[in-house]
Amino acid sequence: MEPQTSKRDRKKAHKEDQKVVEQKNQNKNFLRNLGIGVAAVLLFGGAWLVFGNSAGNTPTNTNQDSQSSIESVVLSESDHVRGNREAAVVLVEYGDFQCPACGIYSPVVNQLVEEFGDDLAVVFRHMPLSTIHQNAESSSFAAEAAGKQGKFWEMADILFERQEDWSNDRDPRSKYEGYAAELGLNVDQFKEDSNSPEVKEKVRRDRQQALAFRITGTPTFFLNGEKIESPRGLDPFRDVISAAIAQTGEPQAEETNEATPEEDIAPSL
């Protein structure tokens, strides 16, 4: 008969194997989970619009009208752009730094920027869902304040990557200041800019534009001025961008031969 310790070891190993299998299953179900997560965000985002709209009108989750579609792709000096600002293909995201679905899409969008290079411009605009995300607005201010020192995207990446670290804090400002220090920013200037009327007005303008476009949740993407359904993973998103570039007649950046496995795109919800 084998010693009792050996049985315990086998039992422990079996449990570890089960954990690995469960994690793999979670990764394989990324698309399904992402869809559920986005649907939940849209549901609560819609509720926020119902209670947060001062006019009392409930926007519907419909495609944007032609005027809104055209306006959504016009870039302003205050827009934060990754990639080539002059690219013929422009992807605009209306997002919330505390939104879990936005956090999942962040590395996907970053990968698109890396792959398509000068063929793509990516724009982030703020839509903080303040009623359901207590720190959504303050995190937008933090990103904008970092942008005043040329580090908007770096701060955005940190906010998404460390979402769980600051999302539930009653007052996450010290966390933001720590991130600013990591990025080599002038922290005193960062703190001042975070509370500045200019930064707050930028976030307010983005959010008002999102409301005008009848956006009911985050993330919401516009591609060359047309609202698109959020692609469920890197490959579908890559296909959508490639098709848009092909329509412009612009030469595409050379594709990489390395396939990105689903489990490396984003964690499960």
Q: Under DSSP, is residue 175 helix (H, G, I), strand (E, B) or coil?
A: helix
Other CB atoms within 10 A of residue 84 CB: 17
pTM of the model: 0.70
* Residues whose CB is less than 8 angstroms from the CB of residue 7 and which lie 6 or more positions away in sequence, other chains included: none
Q: What does the pLDDT read at residue 132? A: 95
Q: What single-letter amino acid sits at 151?
A: K
Q: What single-letter amino acid sits at 135?
A: N
Where are the chain's structural domains? Answer: 25-245
Q: Across the 269 residues of the chain, what is the mean pLDDT of every consecutive 10-residue run?
A: 52 53 44 46 39 31 42 80 95 97 97 97 96 97 98 98 97 98 98 98 96 92 94 95 89 48 37
d(CA 43, CA 40): 5
Q: Domain 25-245 sits in which CATH superfamily? A: Glutaredoxin (3.40.30.10)
Here the tokens at position 162 are: 């460390």
Q: What does the pLDDT read at residue 266? A: 38
Q: What does the pLDDT read at residue 269? A: 31
* Residues whose CB is less than 8 angstroms from the CB of residue 176 and which lie 6 or more positions away in sequence, other chains included: 138, 139, 142, 166, 190, 194
Pseudo-torsion of CA 180, 182, 185, 188, nearest 10°? Answer: 60
Q: What does the pLDDT read at residue 207? A: 96
